[in-house]
Structure 1
Amino acid sequence: MERLDERFHLLTTGSRTAVPRQQTLRALIDWSHDLLSEPERTLFRRLAAFAQGRTLEAIEAVCAGDDLQRSQIMDLLARLVDKSLVQVEKPSQRDARYFMLESIWGYASEKLAEAGEHDHFRRRHLDYFAGVCDNAAPHLLGPKQWEYLERMAFEETNLRYAVETSLNLPGEAAKGLRLWTSIERYIEVRGHFREGRAQLDKLLAHPENAARDSIRAYGLAAAGRLAWVADDMPEAHTRHSEALTIFRELGDLRGVAQALADLAFLALDTQDLPCAAILLDEAVSLADQVADARLTAHVQHVRAVLCAVEGNFVQALALEVESLAIYLDLDDAWQWTILAWGVGVNAMVLGQHAMSREHLAQSLSGGLVVGNRWGMTYQLDAFATLAIAERDFERAARLFGASETQRTRLGLVPHAPEHPALKAVMTAAPDLTGSNIEAARCEGLDLGFDAAVALALHSDSFTPTNPK
């Protein structure tokens, strides 16, 4: 938004040195604005409190007040559309969204500041979208998550703008941290790791968010989760450790159990099995006290990984199956995507190839159902390893090639399969070299996204479905 302010400085100052085209544009907007009634001018300038699109519901919530009634807004908005100061788009099966051209938005922002309303309506905008995100948070974990993931996608620019407000206006930083923490699931599923982490870093570093309260604790937990997904294990450990300390101070048993399980997972990454076991024992005990199904499933999943690291794939499979059943009951598509993958790889190493294939397909389908693309590289690697287990080495090479290409396109760091079950299969495999293998790998490297998915599923085409 600072760039927009600079871009429109010349336009809004009306400098005599402005190029003729800019002066003409300024004159046209001035002329249009002068023809507005006072209520139209009021709504026009208050629309600048938004960034990009706005729904009627949002406009009514943010812009009404003082000399502008909610009941007036629909009619006034229609008049601004008729006068080409506002544009409207009506996406299929979605509420209409109202937009301003950038030059008009800049002019409206100037008028908002001149009226002394800038900070007030930026706060109103922040409050509204903090509420939107609070409401969305539980839905992002349940049966309506696709719908709410899409809502967050439509509002991305407004969410960023709201966080900017929280960082710049006194007394608002906690709202920004709460807002951004509540959409961690959206950030994770849609792969916005860099921005998501950068915003959390700024929010957590803000002096107003230094208090050791639940807002900071859950913000730290979200930051730790995103660091783990982005493969930044030291940062994940730092964030989860501070979160654990605050959760203990607050007596938040659920938060303590979650943080313990997350730290146990990180301990497994460094092969510190005794530490992981100690952390998990306490997490299991607390999860039993809290009696929360989602927490139980998460702790069970980490226990399953510990069993796999110890080579007990039978127990690992049993625990993953139990956790998957919980997430299916909760209708949490993203989590059952992860758990189905866990079932698939553990079944694979035990020689249960049909079960493995079924669950890996379910995992791949689930990720695409919720609009996730980065996760499919893990599924391609697992399907490739399954092909090795089934002695179909050329197919495995094609799938590994396809995975490599997708990782490159998505900006992910290439790596060999890391789960103990995949490592066990790969260790037992013959040396995958030779002209036929290399040719198959090159074929995989040339595959696009849809073709790679179809290859994994032995299909000419693919339509994702929810297994429920």
Structure 2
Amino acid sequence: MRCSPFSGCTFEAVEEVAGETQCLEETGVDILDELASLVDKSLIRQADQGAGEPRLLMLETIREYAEGRLEEDPEFSAAARRAHATYFVDFIQHEWAQLTGADREAALKEIEADIENVQTAWRFWVAEGDLEPLRKLTDCLWLLYDARGWYHAMVDLTTDLLKVLASTPSTPERAQEEIMLQTSLARALMAIKGCTPEVEAAYTRALELCQRHGEVPQLFPVLRGLSSFYTYVGDFGKGAEMGEQILRLAEHNDDASMRVEGHLVLGYNLAFLSELQLGLDHLEKGIANYDPNQHRSGRFRFGNNPGVVCFTTSALFLWMLGFPDRALKRATTRLPWPTG
């Protein structure tokens, strides 16, 4: 019964989780003896994982039977499932240290091998409505899902977090977390579904929260994400509005890098609204404000380098306005590599 919460596991995992529930087990049978007996009867098999520790795999029919037996004792079942969920939160926390170091790929494979167990733990804490362990799981899972292109799983993870977050008291910190999650949800949805109303709704919800709670750090990526969405769907009027808001935010914060983004977004949207010269003027301003040593990757920066895009997009518009020589020169300009 004590193995039933697992979807394949190591001896270490079973031993530790079983140890947490030993006091509630009436049989008094040692877990290692129990495992050895199940292996001898071919009810559990060992799978060699190469260099890693062998994993124990239970036949699905046996696992279903064990789960049924487990549910006959609600107290023991609850304790076993909590112990399992707690173990895999600790497991993920341990792997996080490896993910942020030189052994990232090895750590990703370790998590991937136990992904069903980790997701079972995730569902347990979602049902409990407990944000603390969910937050401990989120970063590692997000990194794995992103690395493997599991965007549907990213959507599920974000949706679960938003659901649990909605049950907590409203605070500025909660609002900032929801803004981040809504923005992440929009990006993940766009990756798997394209530019759908769901994507717009997620971005719009994030923007509403930004406006309700005043200036927050997440406002720029929300505006930038919405501008991309409106450009993709051909709503250049709304795209231009986002560009204007980015410029106002840049002026308020005296942020040169954000100013480049604002001129870029406003410029190409105006050009697509048949304001070609006005759009080009904004791109020229973006180029004038661009400093490769200032505009680097940062926490809320994403996508193509806006300075480079200002150069290439303005080259296209110069050609369309009848200046092929200037367009060629602009398109072939070699920008200096950031230093320092």
User: Which TM-score applies when normalising by structure 2?
Assistant: 0.63
* Equivalence for 2:187: 228
* Equivalence for 1:265: 224
Cα 1:199–1:216 change in 2 (3 A) is farther
Provide the rounded CA distance (Å) in 2 between the counterparts of 1:223 and 1:114.
40
Q: Is 1:46 aligned with 2:2?
A: yes
SS, match of residue 46 in structure 1: coil
Q: Is 1:318 aligned with 2:274?
A: no
Provide the rounded CA distance (Å) in 1 between the counterparts of 2:45 and 2:175.
39
* Equivalence for 1:38: none
Amino acid in structure 2 at the alignment position of 1:65? E
The match for 1:237 among 195, 203, 206 is 203
Amino acid in structure 1 at the alignment position of 2:2? R
Provide the rounded CA distance (Å) in 1 between the counterparts of 2:288 and 2:157.
41
Q: Is 1:131 aligned with 2:86?
A: no
Shift of 1:123: 1.7
* Equivalence for 1:107: 65
SS, match of residue 103 in structure 1: helix
Does the CA-based 8 Å contact 1:264-1:277 persist in structure 2?
no
The match for 1:181 among 126, 133, 138 is 138
Shift of 1:105: 0.6
* Equivalence for 1:276: 246
Does the CA-based 8 Å contact 2:207-2:222 persist in structure 1?
yes
Shift of 1:193: 2.3
* Equivalence for 1:291: none
Provide the rounded CA distance (Å) in 2 between the counterparts of 1:55 and 1:189.
24
Cα 1:220–1:201 change in 2 (3 A) is farther
Provide the rounded CA distance (Å) in 2 between the counterparts of 1:428 and 1:62.
67
User: Which TM-score applies when normalising by structure 1?
Assistant: 0.48
Provide the rounded CA distance (Å) in 2 between the counterparts of 1:142 and 1:278.
39
* Equivalence for 2:330: none
Provide the rounded CA distance (Å) in 2 between the counterparts of 1:305 and 1:67.
59
Amino acid in structure 2 at the alignment position of 1:178? R
Q: Is 1:62 aligned with 2:17?
A: yes
SS, match of residue 95 in structure 1: coil
* Equivalence for 1:211: 169
Amino acid in structure 2 at the alignment position of 1:181? T
Cα 1:238–1:110 change in 2 (3 A) is same
Does the CA-based 8 Å contact 1:204-1:210 persist in structure 2?
no
Amino acid in structure 1 at the alignment position of 2:62? I
Deviations 1:126-149 (A, max 9, x none): 222233344555755564433333
SS, match of residue 296 in structure 2: helix
Provide the rounded CA distance (Å) in 2 between the counterparts of 1:304 and 1:149.
36
Cα 1:96–1:226 change in 2 (3 A) is farther
* Equivalence for 1:82: 40
Does the CA-based 8 Å contact 1:46-1:121 persist in structure 2?
yes
Cα 1:155–1:46 change in 2 (3 A) is same
Q: Mapping of 1:281-430 within 5 angstroms?
A: 305-306=261-262, 308-309=264-265, 310-311=282-283, 312-313=286-287, 315-316=289-290, 318=292, 323-324=296-297, 342-343=304-305, 347=308, 350=311, 421=312, 424-425=315-316, 428=319
Cα 1:201–1:75 change in 2 (3 A) is same
Shift of 1:103: 0.4
Cα 1:106–1:152 change in 2 (3 A) is same
Cα 1:123–1:426 change in 2 (3 A) is farther
Provide the rounded CA distance (Å) in 2 between the counterparts of 1:103 and 1:151.
26
Structure 2 alignment gaps of length 5 or more? 229-238, 266-281, 321-340
Cα 1:426–1:279 change in 2 (3 A) is closer
Cα 1:134–1:128 change in 2 (3 A) is same
Provide the rounded CA distance (Å) in 2 between the counterparts of 1:423 and 1:230.
30
Cα 1:245–1:87 change in 2 (3 A) is farther
Deviations 1:409-450 (A, max 9, x none): xxxxxxxxxxxx468559859xxxxxxxxxxxxxxxxxxxxx
Does the CA-based 8 Å contact 2:243-2:263 persist in structure 1?
no
Amino acid in structure 2 at the alignment position of 1:224? T
Cα 1:276–1:195 change in 2 (3 A) is same
Provide the rounded CA distance (Å) in 2 between the counterparts of 1:303 and 1:140.
34
Shift of 1:74: 4.9
SS, match of residue 292 in structure 2: helix
Provide the rounded CA distance (Å) in 2 between the counterparts of 1:200 and 1:101.
32
Shift of 1:104: 0.9
Deviations 1:134-185 (A, max 9, x none): 45557555644333333332232223222332344xx444356425633323
Provide the rounded CA distance (Å) in 2 between the counterparts of 1:226 and 1:175.
20
Amino acid in structure 1 at the alignment position of 2:35? L
Q: Size of the alignment, in residue pairs?
A: 276
Does the CA-based 8 Å contact 1:58-1:128 persist in structure 2?
yes
Cα 1:107–1:304 change in 2 (3 A) is farther
Provide the rounded CA distance (Å) in 2 between the counterparts of 1:243 and 1:86.
51
Superposition RMSD in Å: 4.2
Q: Using the aligned pairs only, state the percent identity.
A: 20
Provide the rounded CA distance (Å) in 1 between the counterparts of 2:2 and 2:80.
7
Provide the rounded CA distance (Å) in 2 between the counterparts of 1:239 and 1:140.
32
Does the CA-based 8 Å contact 2:89-2:133 persist in structure 1?
yes
Q: Is 1:194 aligned with 2:152?
A: yes
Provide the rounded CA distance (Å) in 1 between the counterparts of 2:243 and 2:63.
57
Deviations 1:17-63 (A, max 9, x none): xxxxxxxxxxxxxxxxxxxxxxxxxxxx111112x221333323322
